[in-house]
Chain A
Amino acid sequence: MDSAILTAVLGSAATVMIPVLWASYGEAIGEEAGILNIGVEGVMLVGAFGAAFGLQHTGSLSIAALMAIPSGLICALVLGYLYINRGTNQIVTGILFNLLALGATTALYEQYLTGAGLINTFTPIPLPVLSNIPILGPSIFTQAIPTYAAFLAAPVVYYLLRHTWFGLYLRILGERPDAGESSGLNVQGLRWAAFAIGCVLVAFGGASLVLVQTGGFVADITSGQGFIALAVVILCRWNPLWIVAGAALFGLADALQFQMQTVSQLSSVPRDVWLAVPYVVTIVAVAVARRSQYPAACGVPYVSGAEA
């Protein structure tokens, strides 16, 4: 393959995978603690809107990025209350939340952001030395700050989950919350904390979609990337280091879609086939990876022994 094309593909893949990557970190933390959030798509959408809104009203990319925190926390408040305090069916609640987020962000967008002039993204910053490597340099090592941050976050999230007491307790809540409670853990409190952190990370994924890729918000901007994060998490067994690889796979599938249309031998293949590739890849991967099991208590609301 032509090296220019390869560079373009890698560079685009590295950019495109970032929203899914952040969302996967967030979803993995939540699922390890026992919460299956199908509403991850909605949270991403809210995060994207928050970032676009912040960008519009302050002009500052950094503030727009930080808007992910209140966006994520608002979602966590709503969903956390439903999942943890009310113990609703998580799958159905997630779907409804997605509808709510779609309706709310679209309505607010049409009211406040349509025709907004300001479009801005983080400029890619070439890393010293590394960006001189052929092919990899101009692609992977010349990316925007949120992109580098996403890669650097992998070992941080890994450390959080595997080498802190918080992470140990989290993971026990996802397997046997009753054992956790019996040892004196505050199951609901810990789940809230984990879920809030998770939602902020997911919202950050939505924010980076706007601030690194598109520069602005449109209705339903996420189009399924939150759901792809669900697949990445389960395929990569909740391990943040593997999740990077998983998100990269989808980034590649997405990036190839653009490039394939320019390759002359394949130009007769309709564009829609390439558009469908990431989704089909997800389906195949989920079908093939039989042994991935959710943490035992994931998706099941916990009823404390004291309430029973």
Chain B
Amino acid sequence: MSVTDEVQPRAALRQPSRWELPFGSIATSIASLLAALVLTGIVILVLGANPIQAYGAILSGALGNPYNTGLTLMVATPLILTGLAAAIPFSARVWNIGGEGQLYAGAIASVLVALTFTGLGAVPLTILSIACGILAGGFWGAIGGALRVFAGANEVIVTLMLNFVALTVADYVITGPWAQNISPQTRNIPKGVTLPTIWPHTAVDLGLILAVIAAGIVFVLMRRTPLGLAIRACGFNPDAARLAGFSLGSIIMTAFAIGGACAGLAGAILVIGVNRALVPDISANYGYIGIAVALIAGLRPLWILPGALLFAIITVGGNNLTASSNISTSVSLIIEAIFVIFLLAFRVIRLQEATS
């Protein structure tokens, strides 16, 4: 604690200034994306297909026609929200890995409400279902936050475990009292409870707008409100935040709750919009991919929008792969993971090294 030669600044969660793109260097980011494509191309070759063909299939599968583009946008929707679910707590340097579970919590709540309160009119029921989905996701996130704040539990393990718990609850809801006779899913929600389609002849519904609005609200929250400053202060330096007078516990709880609420909204949109019921695998790892989206966006809410779109393109395009070439749709996961890993490895994304 005495004399030091203070020559090196500490590594820190580095959020770029307003005028800086989240990528420290656009060239390196593009190179990373290309490297990911090349590496995955090799994997595709190993799998016995033509990489160029495969990538062509991905692009056309994602954007080739208005319907596919619509599908892409509808995959981007939950990714935006799970990206937010990760970005907010990450900004406070607490690791919310529970986006998947929080999404399911929202899905479960919204389907249960939609199937139960059928006496209400269609529109009020829709709004109620979505609201309950948001609340359920927030609650599920708050559990992780509470255990971290009050019990000092490692939030990575807790939120991971909560994901699996949510999955088992979903399984119960799907196979239990609300099950439908034929396929493994719940009964369909009432007809009028729906998110209106906003792009005719496609699957794009109001959910997309809700997700974009959520991103806007989170942006205002993080950049223009005292809570946002508190979250960022806590993330950069919890000791200094504490001395300045912030209550770290409530900041962390709030960050988890708001993040969980975003993921819960994703779950509600998935149920009420496209699926109209709770089906198994309603989320294709959206929670985890959302973490990747948050990272490439540098944890910045508005940059999550293009990030989610990019990953949606890869994911939806990937679904087209088995149709056109004989490869697994999981190839999209490979591309996404390698891309972000490269960005991390080459310091394009810089995150605080220390765990809490």
Contact = CB atoms under 8 A, between A and B. Distances in A.
B337 A287 contact: no
A230 B147 CA distance: 17
B330 interface: yes
A282 B157 contact: yes
A283 B158 contact: yes
A300 B157 CA distance: 18
Contacts of B333: 99-100, 102-103, 106
Nearest to B147: A287
A107 interface: yes
Nearest to A290: B152
Interface string A278-308: 0110110011101000100011110000001
Given A82-B344, A280-B165, A230 B330 contact: no
B355 A234 contact: no
A116 to B, nearest CB: 15
Interface stretch (B64-72, B201-209, B345-353): B345-353
Contacts of B160: 224, 227, 230
Nearest to A291: B152
A193 interface: no
Interface in A210-228: 219, 223-224, 227-228
Given A107-B47, A294-B355, A286 B168 contact: no
Contact of A95 (B8, B97, B169): B97
Interface in B295-332: 295, 326-328, 330-332
Contacts of A81: 345
A99 B157 contact: no
Contact of B288 (A87, A88, A99, A223): A99
Contacts of B120: none
B95 A91 contact: yes
B274 to A, nearest CB: 23
A136 interface: no
A161 to B, nearest CB: 21
Contacts of B59: none
Contacts of A223: 164
A100 B165 contact: no
Given A92-B291, A290-B152, A308-B8, A111 B328 contact: yes
A275 interface: yes
Contacts of B347: 86
Contact of B353 (A82, A219, A288, A301): A301
Contacts of B37: none
Given A102-B330, A103-B330, A272-B168, A96 B337 contact: yes
Contact of B344 (A88, A102, A276): A88
A35 to B, nearest CB: 11
A108 interface: yes
Nearest to B332: A103
A36 interface: yes
Interface in B14-73: 43, 46-48
B44 to A, nearest CB: 9
Nearest to A79: B341
A287 B344 contact: no
Nearest to B169: A272
B328 A276 contact: no
Given A91-B355, A104-B334, A275-B168, A82 B341 contact: yes
A142 interface: no
B237 interface: no
Interface in A97-132: 97-100, 102-104, 106-111
B217 interface: no
B153 interface: yes
Interface centre among B43, B175, B353 (most CB of A within 10 A): B353
A224 B168 CA distance: 13
Interface size class of B (residues with CB under 8 A): 35 or more
Interface in A29-61: 36, 38
Contacts of B162: 279, 283
A224 B101 CA distance: 13
Contacts of B351: 88-89, 92
B327 A96 contact: no
A288 B334 CA distance: 37
Nearest to B334: A103
Given A95-B291, A97-B341, A224 B48 contact: no
B47 A111 contact: yes
Interface string B171-187: 11001100000000000
B151 interface: yes
Contacts of A288: 151
B354 interface: yes
Contacts of A280: 161, 165
Contact of A106 (B328, B338, B354, B355): B328
Given A95-B291, A103-B333, A300-B354, A287 B151 contact: yes
A300 B171 contact: no
Nearest to A280: B165
Contacts of B295: 92
B161 A283 contact: yes
A239 interface: no
A95 B160 CA distance: 10
A38 B355 CA distance: 12
Contacts of B97: 38, 91, 95
A231 B154 CA distance: 9
A188 interface: no
Given A102-B330, A106-B328, A110-B328, A270 B176 contact: yes
7 contacts: A87-B353, A103-B332, A107-B334, A110-B330, A224-B163, A272-B168, A276-B169
Interface of B: 8, 43, 46-48, 95, 97, 147, 151-154, 156-158, 160-165, 168-169, 171-172, 175-176, 285, 288-289, 291-292, 295, 326-328, 330-334, 336-338, 340-341, 344-347, 351-355
Given A95-B291, A270-B176, A276-B165, 14 more contacts: A88-B351, A91-B355, A97-B337, A99-B288, A100-B337, A103-B333, A103-B334, A106-B333, A107-B330, A108-B47, A109-B328, A272-B171, A282-B161, A298-B355
